[in-house]
Structure 1
Amino acid sequence: MSETSIFQSLHSGLQKALEKLQLPTPTEVQQQSIQPILDGKDVMVSAETGSGKTAAFLLPIIHKLLEKPSRHTSTRVLILAPTRELARQINKHAKDLTQFTPIKTGLIIGGAEYKYQQSIFRDNPEIIIATPGRMLEHCEKESADLNDLEYLVIDEADKMFEMGFTDDVQAIAGYCNSERQTLLFSATLKTKGIRHLTDYLMDEPEAIVLNTFEAKNDAIEQFIITADDLNHKEKLTQWLLANEEYRKAIVFCNTKEQVDRLGGLIRYHKIAAGTLHGDISQSVRNHVMTQFRDSKIKVLIASDVAARGIDVKDIDLVINFDMAHNAEDYIHRIGRTARAGETGTAISLISHREWNLMVTIEKAISGKFQLRTIKELQGKYKGPKKLKASGKAAGSKKKKDGAKKLTAREKKRLEKKQGKKSAAPAQSNKPKKKFGAVLVDTGEAPMKKKS
């Protein structure tokens, strides 16, 4: 089937929406995923951030719902996402695609009023998009009815596992119709535990691997700048946001406290910035994201909780104030830029504590970070000096080489070591007392055995 015919075979309402959204042809993940889903197969897909994977599962599902309308059933589609922001993004995308159809969606996430969400279930939308914790709560309290469920979708499965939602997902699956079709999308299928999840949820799934998270995104220039300490990092970030050319930028920190601190500092220096982390209320999150999308603020400072759910156009610059904890999180962070065929820049600020982590991530993504300096803010730390072979490694090499000639320094060190050995006091011949399983040299004369 040709690229255009995949979209042309979809329901006319979907084609009209795709035309309005200016999406004339499918992306690679859509090209490879839509037909197997239409064929009714369980599918697990590995695809990078920004590849169009949300539409890859929404389009065929909506098409099949429209082909077989059923107004007298409960929830027909459940889409689980690990974060509120990602759930909101999926809900928005679903509304865009269903705007010329009668299909309705509902959003069930933490931070929203529970009674209001109960009314969403009573309205009986065909598609529910939810975070696992809140959805499980509705299942346990019998607000949700999943007996007629036709499609279960797990998005960002690797993050779901990493955030500890695997048990919740499995529990929710227990409330679902066993005859459902299950779809799983992830940045990688290699994450420990993913296989266990697929074995539990899926029936002979078809694997579609377009890439792995280790693959380097060539559309993103990746730099590191060495930093002395926290204060130095803050100055570097302020300079970059004031001097780099970008339409929008995201700065990632590893803690909520650092997000708030940096946000205050950046705003103090007259740069319009918003903050986003797990402790911020849903209404404030919505307000910040709306301002960011509408370019009322150019800079968003966020924690990793928000990393997977931010899908905003015109992000040119990503700054890792703190280096990501692992390669997967790093890829998802920088994946906020260079979307839809554009290019972007990622800059990581690396202290001496983060150097080894940076090297590990560099190897994992099979890339090479470019070292960059800012003349006005050059620090003392330039990266580790050339490390000499450790004593253990050097020793084993000497044993292997055997005939290797010793240097004058090595000879002197060896002579000194041998001198210490010869000067060591002779071991006592006096007997040792046994305490438990330990022999202790007491220095006492042997005791005579009592008669």
Structure 2
Amino acid sequence: MTCSAPAQRRLPGIAKTGSGKTASFVLPMLVHIMDQPELGRGEGPIGLLVAPTRELAEQIHKETRRFSKSYGLRVAAAFGGLSKYEQFKALKGGSEVAVATPGRMIDLIRMKACSLARVTYMVFDEADRMFDMGFEPQVRSLIGQVRPDRQTLLFSATMPRKVEQLVIDALSSPVRITVGVTGVANADVVQVVEVLPDEAAKSAWLAAALPGLIDEGDVIIFAGQRARVDALTEQLRAAGVRVGAIHGDMDQYSRMGVLDSFKSGAVHVLVATDVAARGLDIRTIKTVVNYDAARDLDTHIHRVGRTGRAGDKEGRAVTLLLPGEARFAAQLAQSLATGGAEVPRQLAELAMRRRAIRAVGEGPALQAGQQPH
């Protein structure tokens, strides 16, 4: 995806996960910054890129530094896991770009590391996740400190009501750009659904299928709770699998160490809670296994988006469902049908138990394997 990001326009972007959004807002930002007067003493940043999590902010920071190098622009970090003192110095010394999480950026502003008076290019990536995490007050605070003639870009894989309201409140006459279909997973990823009778069958399926999946590339396994992540990790490690684990109760240093091991190839399987579902951009991931069903469809979409990144057509997602998960099965089947994908027979049969597979609004139930007209 490329985005022209015309001057003085406000752009809410709805894009499938893995569609290459980072370059679409970083490259126009660099052109914008080069057209602005140079920073004076105590000024900056000009571009502010805001992400919901440290992991995503770190990846955006890395990409932005790479793109900015040839322009000679300074890129400051303002997110957790790194020294706040060093971040303070970088901002105080003058940086054209700041890549931040909402809370840390506000902390640094309060410490007088910088102000937002020179910001004329502002990006919120994965805005839906920010609101899920309770950052709406911080997001609105940041917007309120930036001059009204700013250029604002807001990216979201889904567009829940709260994000829609922010668009209405904070963006004037916005241009909306949608990549793909809203509310469906990346069409480049083949989705497989296995309906299994009980937890023991799920464990047996994973033991049998995982060696073949690893042969095709790296695997990320999503589990619903930290205890499940720990149990699966121990089970796989005992079976000789090179596996790492990541969940929200780990400190930032430990999480980054596991991710570094996964990226370097030291481990080939990552077991994770949904803390890793957004922002994780590792091109070697070929398979996502939803060992536990996601809590909602939006979370499922972001999980699936960890593979099939930036046009890779070889991604695959396998979702394991139990007979009692008919409600989620109906949501997933409808999402697949809306996106023009075939609904797997097992999924359709489970979903039919709730008689909940309908076209948008009211319509006839879809049959297994049927695609919408």
Shorter-normalised TM range: 0.7 to 0.9
Distance change >3 Å, CA 290–CA 130, structure 1 → 2: same
Does the alignment pair 1:370 with 2:327?
A: no
Instruction: Report the Cα offset of residue 386 of structure 1.
Output: 7.8
Of the two structures, which has the highest relative contact order with CA contacts closer than 8 Å and spacing of 6 or more?
2
Aligned counterpart for 1:203 among listed residues 135, 147, 172: 172
Instruction: Report the Cα offset of residue 185 of structure 1.
Output: 0.9
Counterpart-to-counterpart distance in 2, 1:221 and 1:115: 45
1:297-316 matched pairs, under 5 angstroms = 297-316=267-286
Distance change >3 Å, CA 386–CA 148, structure 1 → 2: closer
Give the structure 1 partner of residue 62 of structure 2: 92
Could you report, residue by residue, the CA deviation over 1:285-312 in whole angstroms, capped at 9, with x for unpaired residues?
Answer: 2222222222221111112121111111
Could you report, residue by residue, the CA deviation over 1:266-303 in whole angstroms, capped at 9, with x for unpaired residues?
Answer: 11211111112222222222222222222221111112
Q: What is the DSSP-based 3-state SS (H/G/I as helix, E as strand, rest coil) of the residue aligned with 1:308?
A: coil
Q: What is the DSSP-based 3-state SS (H/G/I as helix, E as strand, rest coil) of the residue aligned with 1:100?
A: helix
Runs of 4+ in 1 over 4 A off after TM superposition: 383-389
Give the structure 1 partner of residue 227 of structure 2: 257
Counterpart-to-counterpart distance in 2, 1:242 and 1:305: 25
Instruction: Report the Cα offset of residue 133 of structure 1.
Output: 2.0
Q: What is the DSSP-based 3-state SS (H/G/I as helix, E as strand, rest coil) of the residue aligned with 2:71?
A: coil
Does the alignment pair 1:159 with 2:133?
A: no
Give the structure 1 partner of residue 212 of structure 2: 243
Aligned counterpart for 2:112 among listed residues 142, 165, 181: 142
Does the alignment pair 1:47 with 2:15?
A: yes
Counterpart-to-counterpart distance in 2, 1:221 and 1:287: 30
Instruction: Single out whichever of 243-252 and 64-73 deviates more from structure 2.
Output: 64-73
Does the alignment pair 1:353 with 2:324?
A: yes
1:293-442 matched pairs, under 5 angstroms = 293-339=263-309, 340-366=311-337, 367-370=341-344
Instruction: Report the Cα offset of residue 128 of structure 1.
Output: 0.9
Aligned counterpart for 2:52 among listed residues 82, 100, 103: 82
Are the aligned partners of 1:139 and 1:172 in contact in 2 as well (CA < 8 Å)? Answer: no
Counterpart-to-counterpart distance in 2, 1:126 and 1:89: 18
Distance change >3 Å, CA 115–CA 353, structure 1 → 2: farther
Give the structure 1 partner of residue 31 of structure 2: 63
Give the residue type in structure 1 aligned to 2:322. S
Give the structure 2 partner of residue 213 of structure 1: 182
Instruction: Report the Cα offset of residue 96 of structure 1.
Output: 1.7
Distance change >3 Å, CA 202–CA 76, structure 1 → 2: same
Are the aligned partners of 1:220 and 1:343 in contact in 2 as well (CA < 8 Å)? Answer: yes
Counterpart-to-counterpart distance in 2, 1:93 and 1:114: 21
Counterpart-to-counterpart distance in 1, 2:287 and 2:244: 15
Are the aligned partners of 2:336 and 2:343 in contact in 1 as well (CA < 8 Å)? Answer: no
Instruction: Report the Cα offset of residue 111 of structure 1.
Output: 3.4
Q: What is the DSSP-based 3-state SS (H/G/I as helix, E as strand, rest coil) of the residue aligned with 1:278?
A: coil
Are the aligned partners of 1:274 and 1:297 in contact in 2 as well (CA < 8 Å)? Answer: yes
Instruction: Report the Cα offset of residue 116 of structure 1.
Output: 2.9
Instruction: Report the Cα offset of residue 207 of structure 1.
Output: 1.1
Could you report, residue by residue, the CA deviation over 1:339-363 in whole angstroms, capped at 9, with x for unpaired residues?
Answer: 2232221111111232321221221
Give the residue type in structure 2 aligned to 1:39. A
Give the structure 1 partner of residue 74 of structure 2: 104
Are the aligned partners of 2:326 and 2:354 in contact in 1 as well (CA < 8 Å)? Answer: no
Greater gyration radius:
1
Counterpart-to-counterpart distance in 2, 1:52 and 1:85: 16
Q: What is the DSSP-based 3-state SS (H/G/I as helix, E as strand, rest coil) of the residue aligned with 1:336?
A: coil
How many residues matched? 348
- Aligned Cα RMSD in Å? 2.5
Counterpart-to-counterpart distance in 2, 1:385 and 1:114: 49
Are the aligned partners of 2:243 and 2:269 in contact in 1 as well (CA < 8 Å)? Answer: yes
Counterpart-to-counterpart distance in 1, 2:99 and 2:216: 33
Distance change >3 Å, CA 67–CA 328, structure 1 → 2: same
Could you report, residue by residue, the CA deviation over 1:46-88 in whole angstroms, capped at 9, with x for unpaired residues?
Answer: 1111111111110011112123351312211111111111111
TM-score, reference length from structure 1? 0.72
TM-score, reference length from structure 2? 0.86
Are the aligned partners of 1:105 and 1:126 in contact in 2 as well (CA < 8 Å)? Answer: yes
Counterpart-to-counterpart distance in 1, 2:304 and 2:183: 13
Counterpart-to-counterpart distance in 1, 2:184 and 2:21: 17
Counterpart-to-counterpart distance in 1, 2:112 and 2:146: 12
Q: What is the DSSP-based 3-state SS (H/G/I as helix, E as strand, rest coil) of the residue aligned with 1:198?
A: helix
Counterpart-to-counterpart distance in 2, 1:110 and 1:272: 28
Could you report, residue by residue, the CA deviation over 1:298-330 in whole angstroms, capped at 9, with x for unpaired residues?
Answer: 111112121111111121111001111222221
